[in-house]
Structure 1
Amino acid sequence: MSVVLVFLLVVIGFSFWWLSHQRIMSKPWLESGVHTAVPETDASGMATEKVALGVFLAVVGALFALFASAYFMRMEYSDWQAPPLPRILWLNTFVLMLASAAFSCAVRATRERHIALTRLALSAAGLGTLVFLAGQVTAWRELAAGGYFMDTNPANGFFYLMTGVHALHILGGLVALGRTTIRAWDPGAEPKRLTLGIELCAMYWHFLLLVWLGVFVLLEGWAGDLVTLCRQLLT
């Protein structure tokens, strides 16, 4: 349960950080100046798509928190034998971090109307994501070649389950990224829609990077030390 609480605290912290960059946390009754639009039609408000994505990411975070809880409870049994983690997972983590950074560059570029840099950043993010998925497949094949199949040990099953579900979410994000990239190469694309699409992709990738870091720490066996450190900091 401690692991679940730590993970949820991280998710909540990320959510508050995101909300602080949106107008949902603003106090309009304290703002001064001339208002150019009524509240119902003010285009500066947070887009509905962002709210929907935020709710979806909260559900995804809860799902992986449950995975983490089940992982810790199951590893207490005597038949638990964690598989050796392929070294390529370190490279995969670094590549996903680069993809997330590329999305941050894309968001800044599209806000400043640098379309060439926006296209380059989106292409880099997509390429990095594909490299990450290829690395995940390589890790699965390496474990299978070593005899670490899903049904040979519960620890193996958890490894394939958590990394597989994470990869499925990445694949789903690639669909949205593909549509956004096509829009970026369309000269007649509406700038506001393009900016919103890139911001949604960036938000999604940042969150999946956060989830992957949690999964990686869990699979590496560092979660127990992290929980102990958090307890020491809170006491």
Structure 2
Amino acid sequence: MSVVLVFLLVIAGIAGWWLLNQGVMSKPWLEHGPAGALPEIDVTGMPTAKIGLGVFLAVVGCLFALFASAYFMRMELSDWQPLPIPRLLWLNTGVLVLSSVALQCAVVAARRGQIDMVRLGLVTSGFTTLAFLAGQLAAWRELSASGYLLVSNPANSFFYMITGMHGLHIVGGLVALARTTAGAWGKYSPDRLRLSVELCAMYWHFLLFVWLAVFVLLAGWAADFIDICRQLLT
């Protein structure tokens, strides 16, 4: 349960920081302008799409926290045999970081009205994300070729399950990214394009954070981190 609490505290801290930066503490009753001028804006001044995505990401964070908790509890049993982490995962991590950086550059460009840079950032992020997924599949093949099959050991099963679940969320994000990229060459208005790019960036930054946490967990460093947190809390 300590793993879940630590993970949820981190998620809550990031969410609180993000909400403050999005203007959740603003006072809309002090704003001037006709009522209904911004139909897609919540009373907090934040687009409802961002609020909905934030709730969804919180649920996804809880899901991965439960996976981490189950991972720690299962590894205490005698039949647990940790598998080696493929070196390819380091490269995949770097590729995912590049994808997130490209989307952040697209956000900055969208706010400045630089449509060419937005397109470049979206395309770059799409290709690097596909490269990340291809690298994950290659890591799976490398492990299976070395005899680390799905049913060989509980540690193997957890590895494939957690990385596979993360990959599925990446695939889902690619659908939204493809629509946003098509809109950048289509008839999206500047405001709609900016919001769509910001939503994609939110999703990618979150999945990058989740992947870093998963990587730390699978590499065996999470136990030391939890021990440090316990000492700080006590």
Q: What TM-score, normalized to structure 2?
A: 0.94
Query: 2: CA distance between counterparts of 1:54 and 1:71?
Result: 26
Per the alignment, in what secondary structure is the counterpart of residue 188 of structure 2?
coil
Residue 132 of structure 2: aligned partner = 132
Per the alignment, in what secondary structure is the counterpart of residue 144 of structure 2?
helix
CA shift, 1:103, in A, is: 0.9
Letter of the 2:102 counterpart: A
CA shift, 1:231, in A, is: 2.4
Residue 172 of structure 1: aligned partner = 172
The C-alpha deviation readout for 1:48-97, integer Å capped at 9, x for no partner, is: 21111111111100100000000000000000001111000011111111
Gaps of 5+ in 1: none
- Following superposition of structure 1 onto structure 2, how do residues 108-187 of structure 1 map, counting pairs within 5 Å? 108-186=108-186
Query: 1: CA distance between counterparts of 2:203 and 2:225?
Result: 25
Query: 1: CA distance between counterparts of 2:17 and 2:177?
Result: 23
Per the alignment, in what secondary structure is the counterpart of residue 23 of structure 1?
coil
Letter of the 1:191 counterpart: P
CA shift, 1:18, in A, is: 1.7
CA shift, 1:9, in A, is: 1.1
Per the alignment, in what secondary structure is the counterpart of residue 24 of structure 1?
coil
CA shift, 1:101, in A, is: 0.9
**After the TM superposition, which of the residue ranges 47-56 and 65-74 deviates more from structure 2?**
47-56
Per the alignment, in what secondary structure is the counterpart of residue 192 of structure 2?
helix
- Following superposition of structure 1 onto structure 2, how do residues 207-226 of structure 1 map, counting pairs within 5 Å? 207-226=206-225
Letter of the 2:84 counterpart: P
CA shift, 1:221, in A, is: 0.4
**After the TM superposition, which of the residue ranges 201-210 and 50-59 deviates more from structure 2?**
50-59
The C-alpha deviation readout for 1:135-180, integer Å capped at 9, x for no partner, is: 1000000000011111010000000000000000000000000000
The C-alpha deviation readout for 1:11-67, integer Å capped at 9, x for no partner, is: 1112112212223222346x5xx61233x5446621121111111111100100000
Residue 4 of structure 2: aligned partner = 4
- Number of matched pairs: 230
Query: 1: CA distance between counterparts of 2:162 and 2:211?
Result: 9
CA shift, 1:232, in A, is: 2.9
Letter of the 1:21 counterpart: N
Letter of the 1:185 counterpart: W
Per the alignment, in what secondary structure is the counterpart of residue 177 of structure 2?
helix
Query: 2: CA distance between counterparts of 1:8 and 1:92?
Result: 25
Letter of the 2:160 counterpart: Y
Query: 2: CA distance between counterparts of 1:121 and 1:18?
Result: 22
Per the alignment, in what secondary structure is the counterpart of residue 25 of structure 1?
coil
Letter of the 1:11 counterpart: I
Q: 1:36 aligns with which of 22, 33, 36?
A: 33
Query: 1: CA distance between counterparts of 2:166 and 2:15?
Result: 19
CA shift, 1:189, in A, is: 2.2
Letter of the 1:225 counterpart: D
The CA RMSD over aligned residues, in Å, is 1.4
Query: 1: CA distance between counterparts of 2:69 and 2:220?
Result: 14
- Following superposition of structure 1 onto structure 2, how do residues 12-51 of structure 1 map, counting pairs within 5 Å? 12-28=12-28, 35-38=32-35, 41-42=37-38, 45-51=45-51
Name segments (4+ residues, structure 1) moved above 2 Å: 40-45, 231-235
Gaps of 5+ in 2: none
